[in-house]
Amino acid sequence: MTDFYSNEADFEAEITILTSAQGGRNTPTYNFIRWDLGYPDRSEFEPVYMIWPNFLDEAGDPIPKGSQIEGTLRARMHIVVREMVEFHKQRLLVGSRFNCHEGRHVVAQGKVTKLLALSS
């Protein structure tokens, strides 16, 4: 596991990975992917943010790095740029929705289910 994921997660989310028929990726998705987060109400010129998922299995344990993932899964989310935590505290509340991006392309959709380090 990388040092990045040894840090406490900021929040937990339920993420649905879009299929290629839904406009998602044409290739499989693997845990430890580096998607960026975008807010659904953003304009096409607003940035996406380095908030990365670590997907969990049914027991709540991290899925091994490189394991193929699909469907709807829980994930612990990590805000990479720590100077942005206060900004995201205003937007990421339980029930908040977000999109996962590869560049400007939306490949998954998520909803915040629990605040972790972000709640302090």
Averaged pLDDT score across all residues of the chain: 90
For residue 88, what are the contacts with CB-CB under 8 A and spacing of at least 6?
10, 49, 51, 79, 118
pLDDT band of 5, cuts 50, 70, 90? low
Q: CA 13, CA 75: separation in Å to the nearest integer? A: 5
Report the pLDDT value the prediction gives residue 47, as an integer from 0 to 100.
85
Q: CA 115, CA 119: separation in Å to the nearest integer? A: 5
Q: Strand 11-17's sheet: what is its strand order? A: 36-38, 97-102, 105-115, 11-17, 72-79, 51-55
Q: Which amino acid is at 91?
A: R
Q: CA 54, CA 31: separation in Å to the nearest integer? A: 7
Instruction: Show the domains of the chain with their CATH numbers.
Output: 4-119 (2.40.30.10)
Model confidence over 20-66: pLDDT tens digits? 999 999 999 999 898 999 998 877 778 889 999 999 999 999 999 99
